[in-house]
Structure 1
Amino acid sequence: MAEDREMAPESLLEASHTPNSLQWQQHRHENGVEVDEAEEEHVDEGLQLQPDDDNGPTHHPYAPPDEIFDITTTIDPRYIISLIRKLLPVDERQGDDLQGLAEWSSSNQRPDNDQRANGASSPKIDSGTDDNDTEPREKTAREKAWEESGCVLWDLAASKEHAEFMVQNFVLEVLLANLVTSDSVRITEIDLGIIGNLACHEALMDQITSNNKLLETIVDQVFSDDAPCLCEVCRLLTLGLQGCQRVVWARALQSDHILSRILWIVENTLNPVLIEKSVGLFLAIMENQEEVAPILLPTLMNLGLPDLLVNLLSFEMGKLTSDRIPERYPALDSILRAVEVLSVTDDYSERICSNKEVVQMAIELIKIPEKTEISSSCVTSAVLLANILTDAPDLAFKLSEDFLLLQSLLDLFPFTSDDFEARNALWSVVARLLARVQEAEMRPSRLNQFVLMFVDKSDMIEDTLLESKQDESSNCDAHTISEAKFDSRTVAIKCIVKILVHWNRVKDEESVAYDDADNLEKSCPDERDVQKLLDCCLKHAS
């Protein structure tokens, strides 16, 4: 799958003006869209395409009567209308060709393990085959035209101008009719994908929400067994819960059997894209503490959401440590974000913070050697650990003995340059661990180990301190920096200063020397480097 609001192909977007009738026909042929003789006659006469009054079904919506389209678009409006018309639901009275689409609707079922790369919301042309079929059935011209038209509309819906024009020309009514009448998972997926892209535009989201029948039908799609369809419905529900009318969407989801179904999907699927999208739905619920969470979160908690998230995290961590699969990284990140948000949610944080398995998995992820590809998940784990230590401060004493954990936390600072809150959380954890380090009681080898680590990361520490200072200056007027966050960084820097000062005081003592002469040179920090770092820390310690 490509990215969530991928635009139409370049061939559709190159034109800078509305083409004439000949250009329009050529344009449609180039894009694989059939032009029948009736349409050519309409275009030659400069008329807008409309259904035949005598033969067309009465429930099909008509295009607006105006011949002049007052919109700014690089696509001929008549072309968009023709695409919408090709999506009109099947009517058996209209002949064998349409009946072929009906047969496709009933037979086009995917295997359960069908997956689409990256979980994006851009269409993918379906081959018309089922992996379980020994002799794949060739799709009819009508089936191909429907799918191609739907995929083009899916792309066009990402553009606000095109999306508004589509809605003005009754695309929502056409899509609703397809959702109600079709049994094809491919048709359902395309319908939901188009609606999902339309919902990205606030004004159109309001129109979707105000259509009670459409909203109810969308929610009912959670009972589908097709992974791509479920991915699209989860994306659409998430958009609804993040929009201005989120309370309406929350109430549409609040029944126990709907929430139980969503939890069941997450618990039983192995599709990483579906895990990402469905957990993203839970995240949207938890993030809105004022309106959405009070409606849905109590039921989800009673149905076992915390245990489900922990099990999912354990599963993804197992996959990560045994065989790194980049396609699973977004799912891991989504799960961690949900766990982190739940760890600071009033009345429910204890379910996460008191879970030893969660603590262990967070530490394991922070300490993982190769962080670049999963840096977002590692940073989220550090934020989660900061939240846990706030609720369980005694845990810091035990963790302060884990030198590799402290080193790994410092390694995460470069990944937080654009995330002020995450950097503050990192300072908080580092401060809690260093505050329990008793430098005066350290063995000489242990003291050298700490100083070497700080010197090795001196450039990173200096850069991070400068970034923190700049963030404070830019955010001071908005009062976004709490004393606790400021104190965390100050405490951490003062602890580093204490360790460096103590090393300077005892470095020449005989007890500090190593017996292994071969390791002496590389085990002893350079005094000039230590002094440079000490000067930098003293400048930021007040």
Structure 2
Amino acid sequence: MAPAQSSPFMEEDDDNEEVERVELETTSSYHPSAPSSEIFDMRTTVDPSYIISLIRKLLPHSVKNAYSSHGDNDCNASVGELETGIRGTVQTSSPGVLSITNRTDEAMDTHDETSELAHQKEGIEDSFGPIKDNNISTVDEAAWEECGCILWDLSVNKTHAVFMVENLLLEVLLSSLAISQSLRVTEIGLGILANIACHEVLRNRMISMPGLIDTIVDQLFLDDSLCLCEAFRLLSLGLQDGDSVTWVNTLQPEHILRRILWVVENTLNPQLLEKGINLLLAIIESQQEVAQTLLQSLMKLGLPSLLVSLLACEMKHLFGERVPDSSMNLMKSGSAAESASLLYAIEVIFVLLLMLDI
């Protein structure tokens, strides 16, 4: 049998592959790898440019429009610089923090499915401050909420949180809180800030930003339980910092302390009550000289009587009449655990007050 003849087409394919290989090697020599300083630190599975794109989408449209129309205005110019800073080159000096260099490409269109929390307003009637109305564009709010919820989740991670702050997230949130008319936007913004405050290294950055702490305290006069929960949580974390003088000075005015006590006394929301008790506990557990400043004012405003009232109420819930039906007892077990937790916090406050001899 005659040996098989090689096909001329196969020989031609081999020649083409060899030419392509040579061209690839020649071309690659003209495109060396990027220097290490321009390569992302891949310690996270989240694309850093995606985080920056999310931050950019939180910048209020009305602020950007105002800057475009009044570029010579100082306030609007600062917002313009803010947006330019986010879009331009942002370098971080902290080791292990992600860096973005010369990123001018558009944001990726990836959208994570984020569960939407039902935003219920608590019926608290109070004479303090205006109530925010949900009157912004539904489309804008939905987009803001989607991006904000993703950043809210990512800010739990310290590396992500530091990267966000280095890329001007605090400035963006301050702008949003200052003009927001949406309770949901306010809640998300406060939630992100509270997560950032969990990282001790970033609390000083929050203190050093002009107007941020004052804007946070202003949210105490909202009549919304979810916003107040995040505001109380954020303030409690701020008071835990070694340098809590700034937070204390901001809370020192009598009308602010009176508002805190009023909310704790009148809320029917168990979660908000818990956050309020934790805030009072954080005030007492602060540094001795810091605690004295706020405690003296709180005592004059009726803190002892409030604690007695709360203690009696929680004990009534905890040791109330037992329901014969076992299923009803099971349903009440959760509320009993919450009452026990609040009782413990209230008792701790009493003990600390006695120790401080106030």
Report the TM-score range of the alignment, normalised by the length of the smaller protein: 0.5 to 0.7
Deviation at 1:279, TM superposition (A): 0.6
Structure 1 residues 74 and 130: alpha-carbon distance in aligned structure 2, compared to 1, 3 A threshold: same
Tell me the amino acid that sits aligned with residue 230 of structure 1. Answer: L
The match for 1:196 is 194
Measure, in 2, the Cα distance between the counterparts of 1:85 and 1:181: 16
- For each residue in 1:420-442, what CA deviation from the matched residue of structure 2 results, as whole angstroms up to 9, or x when unmatched? xxxxxxxxxxxxxxxxxxxxxxx
Deviation at 1:292, TM superposition (A): 2.5
Tell me the amino acid that sits aligned with residue 116 of structure 2. Answer: I
Measure, in 2, the Cα distance between the counterparts of 1:199 and 1:290: 22
Tell me the amino acid that sits aligned with residue 284 of structure 2. Answer: M
The match for 2:49 is 78
The match for 2:348 is 340
Structure having the higher Rg: 1
Structure 1 residues 329 and 349: alpha-carbon distance in aligned structure 2, compared to 1, 3 A threshold: farther
- For each residue in 1:184-206, what CA deviation from the matched residue of structure 2 results, as whole angstroms up to 9, or x when unmatched? 11000000000000111111111
The match for 1:169 is 167
Verify the 8 A CA contact 1:272 1:328 in the aligned structure 2.
no
Verify the 8 A CA contact 1:185 1:229 in the aligned structure 2.
yes
Counterpart of 2:62 (choices 83, 91, 101) is 91
Counterpart of 1:212 (choices 210, 213, 222) is 210
TM-score (norm 1): 0.43
TM-score (norm 2): 0.64
Deviation at 1:253, TM superposition (A): 0.6
Verify the 8 A CA contact 1:286 1:342 in the aligned structure 2.
no
Measure, in 1, the Cα distance between the counterparts of 2:350 and 2:120: 42
Verify the 8 A CA contact 1:192 1:232 in the aligned structure 2.
yes
1:125 paired to 2:116: yes
| 3-state secondary structure, aligned to 1:225 | coil
The match for 2:266 is 268
Measure, in 2, the Cα distance between the counterparts of 1:189 and 1:162: 20
Measure, in 2, the Cα distance between the counterparts of 1:142 and 1:301: 45
Aligned residues: 255
Deviation at 1:232, TM superposition (A): 0.3
Verify the 8 A CA contact 2:190 2:231 in the aligned structure 1.
yes
Question: Gapped runs of 5+ residues in structure 1?
Answer: 1-65, 95-122, 351-542
- For each residue in 1:93-113, what CA deviation from the matched residue of structure 2 results, as whole angstroms up to 9, or x when unmatched? 86xxxxxxxxxxxxxxxxxxx
Identity of aligned residues (%): 50
Measure, in 2, the Cα distance between the counterparts of 1:129 and 1:202: 31
Tell me the amino acid that sits aligned with residue 347 of structure 2. Answer: V
Verify the 8 A CA contact 2:248 2:290 in the aligned structure 1.
yes
The match for 1:398 is none
Higher RCO structure (Cα 8 Å, ≥6 apart): 2
Tell me the amino acid that sits aligned with residue 199 of structure 1. Answer: A
Measure, in 2, the Cα distance between the counterparts of 1:189 and 1:257: 22
Verify the 8 A CA contact 1:238 1:284 in the aligned structure 2.
yes
Structure 1 residues 344 and 77: alpha-carbon distance in aligned structure 2, compared to 1, 3 A threshold: closer
Verify the 8 A CA contact 1:227 1:274 in the aligned structure 2.
yes
Measure, in 1, the Cα distance between the counterparts of 2:199 and 2:210: 19
Deviation at 1:282, TM superposition (A): 0.6
The match for 2:254 is 256
Structure 1 residues 318 and 290: alpha-carbon distance in aligned structure 2, compared to 1, 3 A threshold: same
1:232 paired to 2:230: yes
Measure, in 2, the Cα distance between the counterparts of 1:220 and 1:124: 28
Cα RMSD (Å) of the superposition?
3.1
Verify the 8 A CA contact 1:87 1:174 in the aligned structure 2.
yes
Deviation at 1:142, TM superposition (A): 3.5
Verify the 8 A CA contact 2:58 2:147 in the aligned structure 1.
yes
Counterpart of 1:151 (choices 149, 152, 161) is 149
Verify the 8 A CA contact 2:314 2:342 in the aligned structure 1.
no
Measure, in 1, the Cα distance between the counterparts of 2:120 and 2:157: 31
| 3-state secondary structure, aligned to 2:61 | coil
- For each residue in 1:295-341, what CA deviation from the matched residue of structure 2 results, as whole angstroms up to 9, or x when unmatched? 11111111111110111122222222247351463354234323333
Structure 1 residues 286 and 229: alpha-carbon distance in aligned structure 2, compared to 1, 3 A threshold: same
Measure, in 2, the Cα distance between the counterparts of 1:337 and 1:273: 13
